[in-house]
Structure 1
């Protein structure tokens, strides 16, 4: 202690001086040690970037590394969590960046050009295919289908519809697409480099363009994903089609979606714009501008073939920064000044600087100085402590669009398919089973299972938009898609009155159809049931509960079908007569292939919906709808489906074979007539599923069938009384309970359980109503 008290001042002083020296040394930005080894520092920065990129993609083996890479010892990944360092990332100069690319990226042995397009009318699709063929000829790959040029680097360009592809494969992990190409071309040994081209017309209505732009924006802001997940591609370029009659100038919206796509691709590719944004007018100079753009691309691609990169110093090729927007948007931080404070506001040193905590004292002192001078003090300064300092720009005016405007191609396509569009986002369509029931030729499976009169059922939806692009969708991909509601919202009374009016109009059109029974036509003029399963996602509509209340007040039953992608809306849903959830796959990969969901966390949403359904099973009649698609979700998936049933414990499980819609859209999605299972295959699957459920101790049994619809019903033994299945619904009792208890009242599905299931609908009896007459496609009676 005496020694410490004697020398403590000297020791403390020495420690302080040493710490001050170390701090000064470490904080010095242009120290002598960094100036002596600038190339070594660039390599270290490059290697750290490569380590991050390797989390998204595996390196391609089989190619030689450069001499510089061989000298540098590879950094081994840590088993612990990745360390996140604060501060603003310093950008490499174009020269350093290109040097790093040349050292880190192996030259691709083959170059695959992918031509993405979006189209509502089919014009862009035709143009994209012609463009790809002409581009292939210019690159020496020959006509489409002939393969690549002998000893050449280019593969035949591929044309991809943005409405059909999986965005994650191409816009988050492009190496998956490259791996798929290598599997399709086993003769290629080495690496395939991807080059992205886009042909995008701009629409003032909702389209796949909006979905793509939203996906790119979410990817850019998702902290779980690298800021430049597309940096592994060789380059990209965008060409936009517009209409100067509607938008004379770029400021008024000419090719605005192509410009947005070009901006987001620049961010996600680490500024690998290979050629400037091209724009052309469909009615005037579209073909000429496209030809010029194509000629420039051929030159750029030849440079890529020779050097393996976009080059250096060529505007529109090596220089990826073309607009001030990209520079401004690179800094997402903001400091907001109010009441004219920007005239006295401290200026940011640079767009990427970060204010130190000590600097806040200067700012506050300045505000106090204004008050001491006798002036009115400025309003408080809002400072974001987490981001850098730039004055926030005025937010652009956002115009809320209609989902399906009357002058849009979507409206024309849906009305051509027999829809009546109500308002801007709702629709109604007469079902083929309604027509069949009116003529006494058979009713829907819902009549056999639940006692619904098909000729008194209205099929409608308050939302034509969906968050999935299912391969078996009957709407051929023409309905809008989206993950969030971003359109005008129509009031529920307008929708309710509109769908009823249009449904009755369609029923009246059946008066002159041969074979329509007078008594059923009279009954059809009184709607008793509503199937909210037409197209789209009904619970997507913000006022779905109010719409259901209007149905129930007129004693119209509600059968609502959702796709298990909106758990919050599902949890908030009030009483419906029967609640369906589409269960199209038993595992994550199958669900991605079949439903092609737009939500990135689709599997987590799916699981949450199953949990919500389990909670609702004593308040709602819950149903799992399994649509079997041969080659997708039939083989060896009975056990997986049994696990999902065990998780959700629904009242019923409907198993139905897919109905082939027979369109080119379905074919391009991988669905053909060969994917439609025979009824016997559906029966075999149901028997396997029943066995798997019994093995888990779950009390389910086969309650009914409708062979004409290729549909079979499994029911919980909650609905088996005295050895008989009671799958029918007592609708009057349901409305009575609803009036007594209210839309949020507590009553169970057993409280409105109906009479026993008719004998002709039980398992093994076929399920066809004996009152009706089956006919073949030409209307000739079929003897039982």
Structure 2
């Protein structure tokens, strides 16, 4: 069979088609109609039909007897074969008969099986498999790496044997790829190369990047601007899912649920080009064995496609054949609907067909409805963000979190423990006067919209772009986090070295750092929650990631508002923050514009987390431009802290990415010079060498030649309770202590710094 090929239109012609397709279609239809009418009037209707194959003449009912409308005669042809000649007979006169409702019969027409139009030409084309994977803890990433290695080894063996139709595979992490490049149209980067998609993913009961990926597939399918099967240019696809039968033993309970969903949507987007059935394995037991079996099926499918055999016919799950997903409803499925002809039987008792009472029930489809007294269906209950039975809950509590309600948490900070023992407070005390043992670290939302490479909680806290969970009242959260914090403070009573006076002070919370994990501003009632803090004279230090501009614009007064600025350009931000929002850069810039507008209402801080190899080299000028755009009150520059877990390594972060304090200092000096060149009034105010952190401040906070970066907390609550407008200049506190200024190290001389073994450490300035 000759290869038909595909004619690909350039983008300009495709745009013209979408713009003028309706008038073109109508004009074409009108032209064809005119031609048809012209031929009809010129030649008339043919009276006879000659065919080499017998047909099915249409019968007519005359006096209760079926009679054909044609005379059938057989005459020989020159070739020796016999032909059937149909000649029309005069139409019979209809007899009077009793009218009865017409009964609709029939069944759903199934699509014919087959490989469809061949897209791969074995004479000129080659096949490159592409592996897509997603991994939080690194297990799936390792499996995908081994799979890629095995496939490439197999392909190289075939190339050595003379088969050059298969090219070595390429792997892509779904957390990093641009979905538009791979899942709206098939890639066209390499000429005469067709692509085969291999997707290997785990399944989670928390929101991860897979939820965003599934939403993209679903939106692409339902987008009227995109063709029905935009990925039909692929030669095939297959999906493998890892699950956990210990927690979700069956598919109905959630085993490999997200892999099943990906397989379903790819079937729709590719025009059912499933090359091999969905594979599933238990990550704890038979995952490797099932993956090996699945690999053998992939290899067989690739060999057949490379030989020009397509996806095969008649095999369940291959080509156009239907597999066990929602592409077509199974006849005996409980979720399937009855045919129209069977609706009547579903509303009456069983009746024998031969009885006099048997007849199709008349149903008025225009008036049939549920009784007015029938109760409305109950809405589906919202799920909890972190259910107590979930692995997420177990993991977070094991790390020292107290989960409050279904989506909030509190955890005692290591600086709180250090301050209780007189071994130093965090940089917030050095810069702003916050006593660490009086500070509660909590969050009303454990979910985040980023997967930053330096995050300490890879694979434990949920992620998402929209709030889709049950919402706990702010009163419940407020009381719960206070109770959890006090319980953890009481647990420090018997720890050696705890100072009695500081322990007594710690039993009254004075500050709240809303920066534990997740995105606090994501919580729908964040303003009500901060109001409860302020009512008890607890200061609020809120940190957001510049991905929720609408919530940021409506945020009420907080004591200090932080915005994480982790990169100076779009590509660096994509790599280091790994945001879930597709318009993350636009959201980021909108947040900076909002901060500029609020600079005389809120005390704003840019937090720059420096990650060596990601956002330090040659980005000083870019950061200076962002500062010029947002004009924050302060800029904190901090070196990343490596938590030393395997999940950090899986995210691409090692100890090599942690900058030395000298490198942070050099960066700050360069940034200060870049701000000066732009005519911006900033200066290096303070440092906390122990935290590898330096503070740049606006000269608005320099009084009588001295830096005043600390906060007058009593004055803040007075202004807040007055109900009058006020700004950050109205509650500036005392001058920054000498030991906290730039060049003096920033360690409180009243405390004693010790090493990891508890021995006194000499602090060099």
TM-score by length of 1: 0.72
* In structure 1, C-alpha distance between the alignment counterparts of 2:245 and 2:135, rounded to whole Å: 19
Moved more, 198-207 or 678-687: 198-207
* In structure 1, C-alpha distance between the alignment counterparts of 2:140 and 2:590, rounded to whole Å: 39
The C-alpha deviation readout for 1:233-283, integer Å capped at 9, x for no partner, is 543212345577877765565543322111122234443321122345679
Moved more, 774-783 or 522-531: 774-783
Find 2:19's aligned residue among 66, 80, 83: 83
Q: Which residue does the alignment assign to 1:300?
A: 301
CA contact (8 A) 1:651 1:715 kept: yes
Q: Tell me which structure has the larger Cα radius of gyration.
A: 2
2:490 equivalent to 1:490: no
Spell out the pairing of 1:332-481 with structure 2 (5 A cutoff): 398-481=380-463
Deviation at 1:634, TM superposition (A): 1.1
Distance 1:119 1:534, change over 3 A: closer
Q: Which residue does the alignment assign to 2:729?
A: 750
The C-alpha deviation readout for 1:420-440, integer Å capped at 9, x for no partner, is 111111111111111111111
Distance 1:127 1:222, change over 3 A: same
Deviation at 1:311, TM superposition (A): 5.4
Find 1:116's aligned residue among 126, 130, 133: 133
Deviation at 1:563, TM superposition (A): 0.3
Deviation at 1:778, TM superposition (A): 2.1
Distance 1:522 1:376, change over 3 A: closer
Deviation at 1:665, TM superposition (A): 2.4
Gaps of 5+ in 2: 26-110, 330-342, 345-363, 370-375
CA contact (8 A) 2:434 2:511 kept: yes
Q: Which residue does the alignment assign to 2:29?
A: none
Q: Which residue does the alignment assign to 1:370?
A: none
Distance 1:577 1:200, change over 3 A: same
* In structure 2, C-alpha distance between the alignment counterparts of 1:684 and 1:587, rounded to whole Å: 21
Distance 1:771 1:166, change over 3 A: farther
Deviation at 1:218, TM superposition (A): 3.8
Q: Which residue does the alignment assign to 1:637?
A: 619
2:603 equivalent to 1:602: no
SS at match of 1:516: coil
2:668 equivalent to 1:651: no
Deviation at 1:220, TM superposition (A): 4.0
Distance 1:766 1:161, change over 3 A: same
The C-alpha deviation readout for 1:591-637, integer Å capped at 9, x for no partner, is 00110100000000001111111111111001111111122111111
Distance 1:191 1:519, change over 3 A: farther
Find 1:101's aligned residue among 116, 119, 125: 119
* In structure 2, C-alpha distance between the alignment counterparts of 1:376 and 1:575, rounded to whole Å: 57
Moved more, 696-705 or 523-532: 696-705
CA contact (8 A) 2:442 2:481 kept: yes
Deviation at 1:539, TM superposition (A): 0.6
Distance 1:724 1:616, change over 3 A: same
2:759 equivalent to 1:780: yes
* Count of matched residue pairs: 639
SS at match of 1:272: coil
CA contact (8 A) 1:242 1:255 kept: yes
Q: Which residue does the alignment assign to 1:384?
A: none
CA contact (8 A) 1:274 1:320 kept: no
Deviation at 1:562, TM superposition (A): 0.3
* In structure 1, C-alpha distance between the alignment counterparts of 2:689 and 2:638, rounded to whole Å: 10
CA contact (8 A) 1:199 1:239 kept: yes
Q: Which residue does the alignment assign to 1:703?
A: 685
2:449 equivalent to 1:513: no
Find 2:531's aligned residue among 549, 563, 568: 549
Spell out the pairing of 1:202-281 with structure 2 (5 A cutoff): 202-221=203-222, 230-231=231-232, 233-241=234-242, 255-279=256-280
Distance 1:326 1:594, change over 3 A: same
CA contact (8 A) 2:565 2:607 kept: yes
CA contact (8 A) 2:122 2:306 kept: no
* In structure 1, C-alpha distance between the alignment counterparts of 2:623 and 2:112, rounded to whole Å: 53
Spell out the pairing of 1:620-631 with structure 2 (5 A cutoff): 620-631=602-613
Deviation at 1:216, TM superposition (A): 2.8
The C-alpha deviation readout for 1:486-511, integer Å capped at 9, x for no partner, is 11111111111111111111112222
Deviation at 1:447, TM superposition (A): 0.6
SS at match of 2:465: coil
2:560 equivalent to 1:581: no
Spell out the pairing of 1:39-188 with structure 2 (5 A cutoff): 46-48=6-8, 51=10, 83=19, 85=21, 99=117, 101-102=119-120, 107-108=125-126, 111-114=128-131, 116=133, 118=135, 139=154, 164-166=175-177, 168=179, 171-172=182-183
Q: Which residue does the alignment assign to 1:592?
A: 574
Deviation at 1:764, TM superposition (A): 1.4
* In structure 1, C-alpha distance between the alignment counterparts of 2:457 and 2:674, rounded to whole Å: 34
CA contact (8 A) 1:113 1:155 kept: no
* In structure 2, C-alpha distance between the alignment counterparts of 1:82 and 1:231, rounded to whole Å: 19
CA contact (8 A) 1:579 1:622 kept: yes
Deviation at 1:158, TM superposition (A): 6.9
Gaps of 5+ in 1: 1-38, 53-75, 180-188, 329-341, 344-374, 381-393
* In structure 1, C-alpha distance between the alignment counterparts of 2:524 and 2:414, rounded to whole Å: 29
Deviation at 1:51, TM superposition (A): 3.6
Distance 1:661 1:530, change over 3 A: same
Distance 1:508 1:81, change over 3 A: farther
Distance 1:748 1:680, change over 3 A: same
CA contact (8 A) 2:136 2:458 kept: no
Deviation at 1:730, TM superposition (A): 0.5
CA contact (8 A) 2:564 2:608 kept: yes
Spell out the pairing of 1:11-50 with structure 2 (5 A cutoff): 46-48=6-8
Q: Which structure's residues are more often helix, by fraction?
A: 1
* In structure 1, C-alpha distance between the alignment counterparts of 2:748 and 2:161, rounded to whole Å: 63
Find 2:694's aligned residue among 683, 701, 712: 712
Find 2:600's aligned residue among 618, 621, 626: 618
Find 1:763's aligned residue among 742, 758, 763: 742
SS at match of 2:555: coil
Distance 1:285 1:79, change over 3 A: closer
* In structure 2, C-alpha distance between the alignment counterparts of 1:222 and 1:676, rounded to whole Å: 44
CA contact (8 A) 2:445 2:522 kept: yes
Deviation at 1:477, TM superposition (A): 3.4
SS at match of 2:684: strand
Find 1:560's aligned residue among 539, 542, 545: 542
Deviation at 1:294, TM superposition (A): 3.5
CA contact (8 A) 1:272 1:320 kept: no
* In structure 1, C-alpha distance between the alignment counterparts of 2:213 and 2:473, rounded to whole Å: 29
Deviation at 1:719, TM superposition (A): 1.2
CA contact (8 A) 1:459 1:533 kept: yes
* In structure 1, C-alpha distance between the alignment counterparts of 2:14 and 2:233, rounded to whole Å: 23
CA contact (8 A) 1:459 1:534 kept: yes
SS at match of 2:326: helix
Moved more, 223-232 or 730-739: 223-232
Deviation at 1:307, TM superposition (A): 3.5
SS at match of 2:307: helix
SS at match of 1:579: strand
CA contact (8 A) 2:134 2:141 kept: yes
CA-atom RMSD in angstroms = 4.0
The C-alpha deviation readout for 1:5-38, integer Å capped at 9, x for no partner, is xxxxxxxxxxxxxxxxxxxxxxxxxxxxxxxxxx
